[in-house]
Amino acid sequence: EDVRARAKKVMDTLRLEVGGPEFDPHVTVVGAIRLSPEDALGKFKSACKGVKAYTAHGKGISAYGKGISTGTFLYKCVFLLLEPTPEVVGTNDHCCAHFGYNRTSTYMPHMSLLYVDLTEEEKK
C-alpha cells in the first residue's frame, strides 16, 4: 500500500476520533512566512528546480508506535518524527534560502498527523 494512503488513513482515524481539520500528508520544509500569492508561487517554483526526490524515514519507528510524538501547539499536536538525513535537512536549507526564511531553532523534520488543541491526557 502507498505510504501516502496509509498516512492518510491514520490521519483520518485520529481526526474522526478527536476532531480537527482535514489536510493532506506533507512534510513542512519552511516555517510560517508572509508573502503575496504571486511571490510565494515564484519562490516555490524556483526552489523546486533545485530539489530532487528523496526517501524520508520515520525516526525510531517500531511495532510499538515509537516515532510518534506530541507537541505543545496546534500545528505540532501529534506528529511523526523523521530522520534528519542530509537529504532532508539539505532540502530544508535549500528551501529556506529560496524563501528568505531565517530559522530561529534547529529544523525538526516531521509529518503532522493531527491539527487540534488537546490536553496532554487526550494526546495519550
Active site residues: 26, 110
The length of the chain, given as a count of residues: 124
What SS3 class is residue 89? helix
Three cell numbers written together for 91? 532540502
Q: Where are the alpha helices (DSSP H) in the chain?
A: 3-18, 37-48, 86-99, 120-123
91: left (phi over 0), alpha (psi -120 to 50) or beta: alpha
How far apart CA 6 and CA 23 sit, in angstroms, is 14
Three cell numbers written together for 40? 510565494
Separation of first and last alpha carbons in the chain: 27
